[in-house]
A and B are shown apart, each in its own frame.
Chain A
C-alpha cells in the first residue's frame, strides 16, 4: 500500500500540474481529493491494513492530502491568473476611438463680460441695478443736461418710437443713473448695465444694439481723485495688473469736468501699433456730474458731489479677447460662442 501511495502521489502531482483549465483542474481534484476520490478510497482501505502499519499509513495519506491540496490551490491560482490575463487581453480597447462627451453649455461672452465688470464694481461697494430699455426724453436727455437742440438729440443718432413723441430707445444707460438718483438719498454707488441703441449702420465696429455699463457715486466728499482711483482699479482688474491709464479732458453735457480714460494698448503694451497708433486706447467716458444734473435729481450740488462714468461692453471685450468684428456677438455662430 505504501507503494501504491507513492504511485498515486506521482500520478496526482502530474495530473494537477497538467490541468490546462479550471474545469480540468476541478476534474482532477474530484478524481483524487473528492468524496469518492482516490484518497478517500485509501482511507476506506486503511481498515484492511495490518494494525501496526495503520497509523503510519494514515499519516502518509494525510500528508499526501495536504500536499495535493496545496498543489491544487497553487495550480488554481495559476490558472485563475492565466484566465484573468486572457480576459484582459481579449478586452483591450482601441483607446484612440473618440470619447463620448456630454456637450456643455456656456454663457455668452457678453454676459460674462458684463458680469466681470459687475463683479469688479461690486467689490468696490457698488450696487448693480437695471432700468428700462424704452426711455423717454426726460431721462435719456433732459435730466442729463442735454438740451433740446443739442446735437446728441439728432434723429440721426437716436431711435424714436411710434405711439408717443417722447419714446425712444435709450442711447446710454446713464438714463438709469437719473432714475436711481431721483428716488434716493446719498451716499450711493450704483452700476447699471444693459442694452443701448444708436442709429448706426451695422459694420465691423458699429451695432444698432450694444451693451453699456454705467456707474456713478454720490457723496459728501466724492472727488475727481476718487473717480481716478476707482476707474484705474477697474482697468487693472479687467485688463490685467500691468495696465496703465491716463485721463484726457473731454466733453459730455452731463459732466463737468469731463474726461476720457485711456488704457495702455493691450496689444503692444503702449509702444504704439496699428490698432492704437499712439500706445493708448480709449475705453470710457467719465467726469464729475454737472451740478444741474444733481439739482434736477433733487440732490443739493453744494453739499454733494458725484462722479459718473460710462463704457461700452462690446469694445473692452473685443480688446481683451482680440475679437475683430462686433457683429460676431449677435450672429451667435456656435463656433464663436464655444470659444469662451
Chain B
C-alpha cells in the first residue's frame, strides 16, 4: 500500500515527522518498507499482512494513525445531490449465487462527460502506482484507494436488457477482458452478466465490450461484496491479480459498497458533470451479521503477561471502530471492515498492538520446569559427526532434491531398488525432480566441484536422510556417506604421492574407527557389488546378516563421469541398521599389570588366501593369551615362490595374572605354525 502523506493528512492530522510516523506504523504492524519522495511530498510504501484488508485504503491507514496518535479521524463527507428519477427504473439486479456475492449495489449516472480527470486526482493515482485512464475510471480507482472498496463502471448503453445478473459462468463462455485477453470461463468462476453474456469477471476485471470510452454517456456503477475464497480461486486459476481482486480476496467490508458508491457518484458529479439518479439498487440477500466477542481482561493478562487497565482496553477497541459494552467482561462488536477480528485472542492482539508490544515486560518463564535434553538419536548423530571430524573429514550438506540422471552417472542399473524414488509433483528446476535415495551422487558432486576449482584433496562426510517409497508411505532413512580423495596430510615435500594419498585401506580404517567408537563390533566382511565401486576393490560389512556399510574405490567409469582427477574412495553406512547396536556407554578396564611378549611371525601362503583367513587361524591356535595381531609386511617376489605371498605379523601375548614365560609363548607359536600349515598349506619363513 502506497500512502501519499498530503492525501493521508486529509483524514487525520500528522503532527509528527515522517521517520517517526514510519516507526509508529511499523511498530503497530504496518511495516513501512520505504519512504519515497514524491515532488515536495512523500510516499510511504507499507507492506501489509494478509489479515489487514481494512488498511488497503487511505482511510484505513488514517484510522490506524488516529488510534496510535489519539487524534480524531475525518472520513470524507459525502453529500450527494440526486436527480428525481430513480435508478431502479434503469437497472435491476439479480444475484443467482448469494454465497459468492452476498451484496451488489448498483447506481446509475447520466450525461457524464468522459475526459481526463483533474490533475490533483491524477497525481494521487500516480503516487499510488495507478495509471490515469479517464475521469470515470479514475474516480472508481480513486474511491477504491480512499475507502478500500473496489468499484467498477460499465457503459450503461452497452449493457443489454437493463439487468445485471450475478451468476457462475457457464461452460464454454468466454470474455474479452480489459487487458485485451480472451478468457475462457468455467462454472467455478463468478461473472457479472447482462441478459445475454458475461460483461465482467466479478471482483477481478471488467469486460472490454462494456468499457467506459470517450463516447460513454451513461454509467452503471457497481459496488459489491464478493466472497474472498471465490475471488482468490478464480484469480489464481487465471493467473490474474488486480487491485480489485487483491482486496476482495482478503475480505472487504459488506457495508462498504453503499458509502463507496455514493462517494464515487459525488466525485463523478464534480469531475465528469454526471447526473446521479436517485437511490441505489442494493441487493443484499445474505446479510453479514456482526460478531459479538467476549473479552475477559484476566484472559488478556494471562496471555500477555501484563495488566492493561479496563478503560485503556475499551478505549483502544473503540478507537479501532469496535462497539464495546462493559459488564463482567467486555462485550465487543468489531466493525464490519475488520473481518480478521473473530475471537477473543484477536482482540487481545489488537490491544497489545496499540498498547505496544515493547511495553510488555520481558521475563523468564517461572513455569513448571522441564528438563532440557536432546533426542537420543540426535545425540548419536552428533557423536558420529564428532568421530568423523576427529578422523579429519569435513562435513558437507548437499541437497536432498536431485534428479534421476544421477543413477546413470553412478551406474545404477534399471530396476535397482535405488531407482524407486519419490517424485516431486511440481518441481521448479530440472535438477531437482526427485528426492535422493542415496548420498553417493551428492558426495561425488562435491569431490567433482572442488576438483574443478583446484582442490583435489577432499575428505568429506554427510549425515542425512534418504527417501524411499515403501508400501504407501515415504520411508526416511538416516544414512552416512564418506568420500576420500587425494592427500591426507599437508606439507608433503620429499614424500611420494603413494605415501600421502588416501587408499582403500584409509577408508576402511575410517569405517573401522567409526564402528569401534560407536561400540559396533562383530561384523563380517565380504566383497562388495555396488555398481559405483571398483568390483575388485570394494567390500560390504554385515551385521546379523544385514549390510551395514559398503565401501570401496570409485569405479573408473563413475570417476570419469564426475571428472575426478585422482582415485577416490566412497563408503556408505546404513545408520538406521546400526542404531540398535550402538553403545556409547564406557566402563573402565584396568591397564595391564604384566608385561607383554612380542613375536614376529612371517607366513607364506598362496596369493588368493586373504590375510583375514591367516589371522583367523592364528587367533584360533593361540587362544586368549593372544592380545593382538598386527600385520606389518606384505611381500611378493623372490625368494617367495611365484603365486604366493608373504605376510608378516607382530603377535602380542599377555596374561592378565602373570608374566608369560618364553616357553609358553613358543608353544603357542608352534601350535599356530602347525595349524597354518594344516589349514592353509602355509609355510613359515625364517624356519
Identify the A interface with B (CB < 8 A). Answer: 97-108, 110-111, 115, 118, 121-130, 132-134, 149, 151, 154-155, 159-164, 167, 169, 187-189, 195, 197, 199-202, 208-209, 217, 219-226, 228-230, 232-233, 246-251, 256-259, 288, 290-291, 305, 329-335, 337-338
Q: Does B378 contact A (CB under 8 A)?
A: yes
Size band of the interface chain B makes with A: 35 or more
Shortest Cβ gap from A206 to chain B (Å): 11
Minimum CB–CB distance for B502 against chain A, Å: 10
Residues on B facing A (Cβ under 8 Å): 26-29, 31, 49-52, 229, 232-233, 236, 302-306, 343, 345-346, 348-349, 352-353, 357-358, 360-375, 377-378, 382, 385, 388-401, 422-429, 432, 435, 446, 449-450, 453, 455, 457-461, 465, 467, 469, 472, 474, 476, 487-493
The minimal Cβ–Cβ distance linking B375 to chain A, given in whole angstroms, is 5
Asked whether, in the complex, the Cβ of A224 is within 8 Å of the Cβ of B304, the reply is: yes
The answer to whether B395 touches A107 (Cβ under 8 A) is yes
Least Cβ–Cβ distance between B488 and chain A, in angstroms: 6
B397 A127 Cβ-Cβ under 8 A: no
Question: How far is the CB of A182 from the nearest CB of chain B, in Å?
Answer: 17
Cβ-closest chain B residue relative to A167: B474
Please give, as numbers and ranges, the residues of chain B lying within 8 Å of A100 by CB-CB distance. 489-492
User: Judging by beta carbons under 8 Å apart, are A332 and B364 in contact?
Assistant: no
Interface-centre pick from A99, A115, A162 (highest chain B CB count, 10 A):
A162
Interface pair A291/B343, CB less than 8 Å apart: yes
The complex places the Cα of A222 from the Cα of B301 at a distance, in Å, of 11
Contact of A154 among B236, B353, B465 (CB under 8 A): B236
Contact call B455/A335, Cβ cutoff below 8 A: yes
Q: Known: A102-B392, A330-B397. Is A249-B372 also a contact (CB below 8 A)?
A: no
Q: Which residue of A lies closest to B299 (CB)?
A: A302
Q: Are B397 and A332 in contact (CB under 8 A)?
A: yes
Which residue on chain A has the smallest CB distance to residue B304? A224
Residues of B within 8 A of A107 (CB): 385, 389, 395
- With A130-B377, A161-B425 already in contact, the answer to whether A225 and B491 are too (CB < 8 A) is no
- Chosen A-B contacts, 23 in total, with CB atoms closer than 8 Å, are A99-B491, A104-B392, A105-B459, A108-B394, A124-B372, A130-B378, A134-B467, A151-B50, A151-B232, A159-B427, A161-B424, A167-B422, A195-B465, A201-B428, A208-B432, A209-B400, A223-B305, A224-B304, A225-B362, A226-B305, A228-B361, A249-B349, A335-B453
Distance (whole angstroms) from the CB of A160 to the closest CB of chain B? 4
- The residue in A122, A167, A197, A332 that gathers the most chain B C-beta atoms within 10 A of its C-beta is A332
Q: Which of B27, B345, B371, B491 has the most CB of A within 10 A?
A: B345
6 residue pairs, one from A and one from B, having the closest CB atoms: A225-B305, A223-B305, A249-B29, A251-B49, A257-B349, A228-B362
Q: Would B422 and A162 count as touching, CB distance under 8 A?
A: yes
A258 vs B472: C-alpha distance when bound (angstroms): 37
A221 closest partner in B (C-beta): B367
Q: Determine the chain A residues whose CB is within 8 A of the CB of B29 once the complex forms.
A: 248-251
Check B365 against A219 for contact (C-beta < 8 Å).
yes
- Among A110, A128, A149, A188, which residue has its beta carbon within 8 angstroms of that of B232? A149
Q: Provide the bound-state CA to CA distance between A233 and B362, in Å.
A: 10
Knowing A128-B375, A257-B345, A329-B397 are in contact, say whether A217-B31 is a contact too (CB < 8 A). no
A223 close to B392 (CB less than 8 A) = no
Q: Determine if A249 and B365 form an interchain contact, defined as CB atoms under 8 angstroms apart.
A: no
Report the minimal beta-carbon distance from A27 to chain B, rounded to whole angstroms.
41
Which B residues touch A108, using CB under 8 A?
394-397
